[in-house]
Amino acid sequence: MVDIIIMQALMGLAVPLSKGILSYTQPFFLSSARLLLAGIYIAWRNRRGLMLIRSRSTGIYSLYARSIFFGFFIKYICKYWSLRYITASKMAFLFNSTPFIVAFLSYMICNERLTIRQWCGVAIGFIGTMPLICESGMILDTWFCMPSLPEVVLLIAISAHCYGVILTQQLLRETQEPLYMVHLVQVICGGILCLLCSLWYEGYMPITSVIPVSIGLCALIVLRSICCQQWQLRIIQRYSVTFIALLDYSSPFFSALYGVLFLAEQITWHYGVSALLVFISVRLFYQDERESGYNAQVL
C-alpha cells in the first residue's frame, strides 16, 4: 500500500512541475520538447526492436494521422496553454473526468453500449466537474455558470486526449504493431507538429532561462517515463488492476498539495465536492466492469 501512495505522490508532481517550467518558456515549445524527449527515450529503450510500420492501408494512415493530431498535438498545446492561466490543482482534478468522456465518445463513435449503472457514472462524473468550472465562472454572485477561456481550452485538451485514446485502441486492434512502436510514431510526429507551431508562433528562442527549463524537462521525463512507469509495472504484479485504477484518483490530491506548498495556490470547497462525485462515479464504473468481467486495456 505504501508503494502505491509513493507512486501517486510522484505522479502528482507532473502538473505542478510543468506549471513551474512554463514560468521560463512558452507552452508550444514545452509541448514539443516534452514529446520529442519522450520519443527519444522510447526509441533508445526499444532500440533492438525498432521496425517500420508494416501496414500500408490508407485507413491505418488515417488513424495514425487523427490520433497524432488530436491525441498529441491538440492535447498538449491546449493543455500547456491553459496551464499558464489556471491552477495545477484544477487541471489535475479536471483530468479525472477522462473515463466519462471516453465512455461517451465510445458510445457515440464506436457504438459501445453502456449499462444503466455506467450511464449513472457518466452523469455523476459530468456533474462532478461542474463545481470546478463554476468556481471561477460565477457571474455577479448568481448561480449562472460561465467557464473561462482557459477552462474551455483545457476541456478541449481533455476531449482530444480521450478521442486519441479511442483511436489508439483502434490502431492496436487493426494492426499488428507493438504498442511501443505506435506510441513512438505518435509522440515523434506530435512533437514535430508542436515544434513547427512553436517556431511559427513563439519564435526561435521561446526560453527565458535555459537551466531551469532543462532541469525541469529532464525531471519530467525521468519522473513520468522512467520512475512511474517502472514502478507501475511492479505494482500491477502485486495488486488488482481495479484497486490500482481507483487509487489513481488520489494523484490530484498530491498535485493540489504541491500547488499549495510550492505555487501558493488556494484550495476551495469546490475541489472536495468534485473529488467526491468523481470518486463515486468511478466506483460505479469499475464495479460494473468487474461484475461483467470486462478487462480494459491500459494505454
SS3 145: strand
pTM: 0.79
The C-alpha cell that represents 232 in the structure block: 507501475
C-alpha 99: how far from chain center: 11
Gap between the Cα atoms of 291 and 264, Å rounded = 43
Banded model confidence at residue 286, pLDDT cuts 50, 70, 90: low
Give 65's DSSP letter.
H
**Most confident option among 90-99, 215-224, 248-257, 268-277:** 215-224
- Cα end-to-end distance, the chain, whole Å: 23
Lowest mean pLDDT among 68-72, 111-115, 164-168, 291-295: 291-295
pLDDT at 290: 59
Question: By percentage, how much of the chain surpasses pLDDT 90?
Answer: 22
Residue 124 pLDDT: 76
68, amino acid identity: I
Higher-confidence position of 156 and 148:
156
Burial class (CB in 10 A: 0-12, 13-18, 19+), 208: exposed
As a whole number, the mean pLDDT across the chain is: 77
Backbone phi and psi for residue 207, each to the nearest 5 degrees, phi listed first: -115, 130
Angle (nearest 5°) at CA 260 between 254 and 262: 95
